[in-house]
Amino acid sequence: MNQLQDLGGEEMAVRRATREDLPGILEIYNHAVLHTTATYDYEPRTLEQRTAWFETHEAEGYPVFVVCGGTGMVMGWSSLNRHHDRPGYRFTAENSIYVAESFRGRGLGGRLMAPLIEAALEKRLRTILAVIDAQNEASLRLHRRYGFETAGLLKQVGYKFDRWLDVVFMQRMV
Return the minimum-mean-pLDDT range out of 67-71, 88-92, 149-153.
67-71
Q: What is the pLDDT of residue 70?
A: 86
Sign for the CA dihedral angle at 58, 39, 67, 73 comes to negative
**3-127 in CATH: which number?**
3.40.630.30
pLDDT digits (tens, 9 = 90+) for 77-87: 999 999 999 99
The Cβ of residue 88 has, within 10 Å, a number of other Cβ atoms equal to 7
pLDDT digits (tens, 9 = 90+) for 119-136: 999 999 999 999 999 999
Instruction: Indicate the domain borders of the chain.
Output: 3-127
Instruction: Grade residue 11 by pLDDT with cuts at 50, 70 and 90.
Output: confident
Average pLDDT in the chain: 94
> The sheet that has 64-69: what strands, in order across it?
3-7, 10-16, 64-69, 74-82, 92-99, 127-133, 163-173, 149-160
CA distance 157 to 23: 30
